[in-house]
Structure 1
């Protein structure tokens, strides 16, 4: 997460995942977090994973970076935080020796917006710093899965292909092991020390980069702590004397107190995803995370009583009229709730953590009293919550299996620069470009100009990233609050049985759970009943859910868990 990220866009978008890499800050309309990777591949259509001793032989040696020191160290699965302002003149270099050998590398990556020309100042300067002639083949991120399928089915594959986890569907997972190189000979064990910024990527993120029994992906690490936060209008809470709730009953009473349709004020948006956290429901971000060993039996999230209780709670909020009417519409009609939140039409917004800063920054100039804060997640009964960890990486860059050693080493040289930590010369180049050309420093904060906004977008950040970082020197109090919120929530976060593993389900089960999210929304909006969900779960078991359970149990017995 970086200073001056783009303001929240309208509607739910997979771009919200990329906000942590300075690519975009997109609102999550309807409270639906789209940070989800869809599970990777280990052995094609039969599925599988790699963990335990087999994984340890493959993983790069971890060597923490000491080039810069965060103001707030990472803890409990949080990001590290930087609150101080930047002095560009004194930035350190994390890559003292240029590792690129001057070769050409083609990279295909998703892109949102209009890509700049290959000859633009940003690409030229970044390539000169790295010592590699990177040629970008940027593709429309909204239809990227279609392009991926076509490219991977052909014999003409670029040197590097970036694949977000949410695009690992259909035949794409089974193509990864067959089409992309094993990077183990260059990165496993102490070999990674040749690329210090890659060695500083947390091991959990590298664990997620094992596909088909080999280290194939260059990862973008993410926090394992909770990422869905109930944002609230702290300025209005303070003015009206509202107290932050600590239980389901408290929340319901607060919503009743706030809601006044005649005054065009409602308490909240759709709170489904926060309700899942309030009731301790296993993660719904990725299919493998939804499974957990309970009293010796593997249980899927939709089978638990907590799942039904959370849906019922979210439904009651909607039925009572406490939810802003715009959230009752289908996802395609919701639009961007941000202006309604800014106007105070609703005061609590189930959102992605990255948008805490985005909402605050977008209103600071015109409304200096505006203050967004994050509620701690409470357990429904008033006790401590039980939260479930997010996977530690979800976007990966892969190298063509046919690439020569010189090309692979040039790719690693690129990744070693893009994985540079916040506050280094390489980080500034990757995220902001050239001072004077793409940005200026105003009161210690880098601010992009028009050229920077047009050229320094989601390119190099897609190759590899440093350990998760939150850095907003223009709002140091928000930075600290975001990191400390993650740390408090991280203290209550547990890792489910398949956390951190790259699991590929057999093709015959791929679509088994596809309709549950829509049914959840229909129940919350009052179009379906809880009994409809109970019937759907029964049908799921008969259609293959129980057999899928057996498959996962066998996988767990054979490989063990990466969670600790």
Structure 2
């Protein structure tokens, strides 16, 4: 399974025994210090929202602000060079786009270093190779100053405690106000940074809405289909209307066996818990519920009806996006940020979001809350001066929309890397090549909608507003289970393998009960008990 597939699976919690918090549920190497009681005592960074720009569409609880264009008068928020005196700053980070030209041939990178006042030495590793690179780097003795650590990093709490700085003295409570753009990041995004009784990383902020079932609204309209199915039966009818195998078109292209996909949507529709359910201190895993079995059976039925692309089980993540963009499939579950990516990559398409309806049509739809951070950025251990220098650079990288720092970070130099029209920047050919340094995977501003075409931003905002009150949280976020830490991946693999056999038609749905029974005996019940104990200690 690819790193991104694992991240999507964890975010969706369809891998039922997967880690529930990037740090608090990782390996046992975190030791006794990494307990629910110790982590519960940590004071999160005080949230001080940036008030320097007024959105066109206001923010709300779980609702992102929307912007149609950049303000006419941008604010230069950081007067001094934040990295002055830092010298060389080595950085290891993942990238999902082609690696840009090196410093010697990249005017944007050179301008970035000049603005920061330091030599930012980025080691940008393609995603396909990042697992190998970051694992070898951690095992070696010479760490970069800043490292993007994926959630699957083995024994992440122990790694952070042993090799990276404890940021609690610098960021806990009001201390974070020295770094106002880190203080602008919501508490929701900081919670996964808690481990070993402290703050042990910087977040790459993500919205609570998590993943969305994207729909090619233009294809739905062209076939005069119902764009808002009120129950599961109507959803299947929509899928059937979008499927024409002879014409090379199908409704879907991802069952969700590696995380997310159609299974995520069906779990939401059938009322399955987001990973776990908690009632009066007692925990029930999603896979134990009747609704989970019903959703699994519904997925099998949809596969049997031929509603999925015939290469679904072998497709890569990018192939799925290409199928969606070219109309070979009409629906795809992806991260919320993919809305803009899809529109930008495949011009002329119309994209919308679909809320999972209650499967029987009764009550409101549901949507699983996502994680607050894409990954964890570790700061190398050093003296206070060095740590503060690195935090000042991170603060610059998190400068929000409405600042000159943000515009430069995203689009480079006006007239060279981008041109501006009606308040909207567009990358030039030079910018498309050079402005690809993936700082957004180290730290970033909180998520926003836009800036962009007003019709698109309004459509995104309306969907987010519809979903916001219907979010279903995972009650184990922030809780620690030693057994889940040590055996969770093995338990998840067994569930995944069995589910794959069922969805592919090699085993009956009726066999799922035995799979769950085995999961409970092999450690699932122990995980439950430990989560219940941790919950009681909160």
Q: How does 1:75-154 map to 2 (within 5 A)?
A: 75-85=60-70, 87=72, 90-104=73-87, 105-112=89-96, 113-119=98-104, 120-154=106-140
Q: Tell me what 1:395 maps to.
A: 375
Deviation, 1:427, is: 0.7
Q: Aligned with 2:311: secondary structure?
A: helix
Q: Aligned with 2:297: secondary structure?
A: helix
Q: Tell me what 1:499 maps to.
A: 477
Q: Tell me what 2:230 maps to.
A: 246
Is the Cα contact below 8 Å between 1:99 and 1:410 reproduced in 2? yes
Aligned with 2:394 (options 400, 409, 415)? 415
Q: Aligned with 2:492: secondary structure?
A: coil
Aligned with 1:457 (options 413, 418, 436)? 436
Aligned with 2:48 (options 63, 78, 82)? 63
Q: Tell me what 2:258 maps to.
A: none
**C-alpha distance in 2, partners of 1:116/1:171?**
34
Structure 1 residues 149, 260: CA separation in 2 closer, same or farther (over 3 Å shift)? closer
| Range with bigger deviation, 505-514 or 388-397 | 505-514
Q: Aligned with 2:319: secondary structure?
A: coil
Q: How does 1:346-495 map to 2 (within 5 A)?
A: 346-364=329-347, 367=348, 370-382=349-361, 383-401=363-381, 403-473=382-452, 475-495=453-473
| Range with bigger deviation, 538-547 or 71-80 | 71-80
Structure 1 residues 80, 256: CA separation in 2 closer, same or farther (over 3 Å shift)? same
Is the Cα contact below 8 Å between 1:202 and 1:467 reproduced in 2? yes
**C-alpha distance in 2, partners of 1:48/1:522?**
40
Structure 1 residues 236, 518: CA separation in 2 closer, same or farther (over 3 Å shift)? same
Is the Cα contact below 8 Å between 1:184 and 1:215 reproduced in 2? yes
**C-alpha distance in 1, partners of 2:526/2:92?**
38
Is the Cα contact below 8 Å between 2:19 and 2:485 reproduced in 1? no
**C-alpha distance in 2, partners of 1:37/1:86?**
39
**Unaligned regions of 5+ residues in structure 1, if any?**
1-10, 19-30, 284-289
**C-alpha distance in 1, partners of 2:240/2:160?**
51
**C-alpha distance in 2, partners of 1:262/1:64?**
53
Structure 1 residues 143, 541: CA separation in 2 closer, same or farther (over 3 Å shift)? same
Structure 1 residues 480, 518: CA separation in 2 closer, same or farther (over 3 Å shift)? farther
Deviation, 1:65, is: 0.7
Aligned with 1:72 (options 49, 57, 60)? 57
**C-alpha distance in 2, partners of 1:76/1:399?**
31
TM-score scaled by length of structure 2: 0.86
**Unaligned regions of 5+ residues in structure 2, if any?**
9-13, 256-261
Q: Tell me what 1:191 maps to.
A: 175
Deviations 1:261-314 (A, max 9, x none): 34444344442221122113233xxxxxx2331354211121111211111111
Q: Tell me what 1:292 maps to.
A: 277
**C-alpha distance in 2, partners of 1:36/1:86?**
41
Q: How does 1:119-268 map to 2 (within 5 A)?
A: 119=104, 120-165=106-151, 167-168=152-153, 170-229=154-213, 231-244=214-227, 245-268=229-252
Q: Aligned with 1:398: secondary structure?
A: strand
Q: Aligned with 1:350: secondary structure?
A: strand
Is the Cα contact below 8 Å between 2:65 and 2:448 reproduced in 1? yes
Deviation, 1:516, is: 2.4
Structure 1 residues 323, 118: CA separation in 2 closer, same or farther (over 3 Å shift)? same
Q: Tell me what 1:286 maps to.
A: none
Q: How does 1:273-288 map to 2 (within 5 A)?
A: 273-283=264-274
Is the Cα contact below 8 Å between 2:39 and 2:198 reproduced in 1? no
Structure 1 residues 322, 211: CA separation in 2 closer, same or farther (over 3 Å shift)? same
| Range with bigger deviation, 336-345 or 479-488 | 336-345
**C-alpha distance in 2, partners of 1:454/1:335?**
20
Q: Tell me what 1:313 maps to.
A: 298
Is the Cα contact below 8 Å between 2:45 and 2:171 reproduced in 1? yes
**C-alpha distance in 2, partners of 1:356/1:450?**
23
**C-alpha distance in 2, partners of 1:36/1:234?**
35
**C-alpha distance in 2, partners of 1:206/1:395?**
11
**C-alpha distance in 2, partners of 1:259/1:280?**
26
**C-alpha distance in 2, partners of 1:55/1:356?**
35
Is the Cα contact below 8 Å between 1:159 and 1:399 reproduced in 2? yes
Is the Cα contact below 8 Å between 2:297 and 2:509 reproduced in 1? yes
Residues matched between the structures, number: 517
**C-alpha distance in 2, partners of 1:46/1:405?**
25
Deviation, 1:212, is: 1.3
**C-alpha distance in 2, partners of 1:177/1:293?**
30
**C-alpha distance in 1, partners of 2:480/2:124?**
26
Q: Tell me what 2:11 maps to.
A: none
**C-alpha distance in 1, partners of 2:503/2:292?**
12
Deviations 1:167-204 (A, max 9, x none): 32x34442111111111222222221111111111122
Is the Cα contact below 8 Å between 2:223 and 2:241 reproduced in 1? no
Is the Cα contact below 8 Å between 2:177 and 2:183 reproduced in 1? yes
Q: Tell me what 1:541 maps to.
A: 520
Is the Cα contact below 8 Å between 1:39 and 1:502 reproduced in 2? no
**C-alpha distance in 1, partners of 2:150/2:311?**
30
| Range with bigger deviation, 518-527 or 150-159 | 518-527
Deviation, 1:510, is: 4.0
Structure 1 residues 542, 456: CA separation in 2 closer, same or farther (over 3 Å shift)? same
Q: Aligned with 2:51: secondary structure?
A: coil
Q: Aligned with 2:147: secondary structure?
A: strand
Deviation, 1:248, is: 0.7
Is the Cα contact below 8 Å between 1:76 and 1:225 reproduced in 2? no
Structure 1 residues 190, 359: CA separation in 2 closer, same or farther (over 3 Å shift)? closer
